[in-house]
Amino acid sequence: MTKVRRLPGWEGKLPAYLKRAASTPFAWGSHDCALFAAGWVIEMTGIDFAAPYRGYKTARGAAGKLKRLAGGELAAAARQALGAPLPSPLLARRGDIAAVTVVTEDAGPETVLGVVDDSGMWVAVLSQVGLERLPLETATRAWAVG
């Protein structure tokens, strides 16, 4: 695994990144929950850990890549990219990546990746309805970035 460091000035980029994400429509393969989180890691570190996962255009395509590369588990993909999760998601700090279980109308409960926002108290997650902020306490896992 590559040693990850946060680039200088990353703090000022986080609010702007979240604002851009909120105004960009959800799209499988370019602006979905996993690529939203991966996009932030690129902004903050310059490293694209999601490169092997890119190239899908549908939910089915995303699931297929995830199954081939990480056994079908989004948390396993995050672990491959970022290492072991923190002992508790509550230890996550601004800019870290967190997993949250959400309930969707069509798929039921599913794990999504999000970004701990600039307050450090919320996880910004991207869904098909847009960017939402969920309390950090709802995170099931979190990974330190840098």
**Tens of pLDDT, residues 22-53:** 999 999 999 999 999 999 999 999 999 999 99
Q: Where are the domains of the chain?
A: 11-143
Q: Work out the pLDDT band at 110, boundaries 50, 70, 90.
A: confident
Residue 95 has pLDDT above 60, yes or no: yes
Contacts of 68 (CB under 8 A, 6+ apart): none
Max intra-chain CA distance, the chain: 41
Half-sphere exposure (CA, 13 Å, Cβ side) for 103? 0
Lowest mean pLDDT among 17-31, 87-101, 102-116, 124-138: 102-116
Secondary element (H or E) of residue 116: strand 108-116
Contact between residue 101 and residue 109 where contact means Cβ atoms under 8 Å apart: yes
Q: Is the pLDDT of residue 1 over 60?
A: no
Q: What's the whole-number mean pLDDT along residues 128-144?
A: 95
Closest CA to 103 of 128, 69, 77: 128
H helix and E strand count, the chain: 4, 5
**pLDDT tens digits along 52-68:** 999 999 999 999 999 99
pLDDT at 83: 93
pLDDT of 108 reads: 72
**Position 115 confidence tier, pLDDT thresholds 50, 70, 90:** very high
**Cα–Cα–Cα angle for 39, 29, 3, nearest 5°?**
35
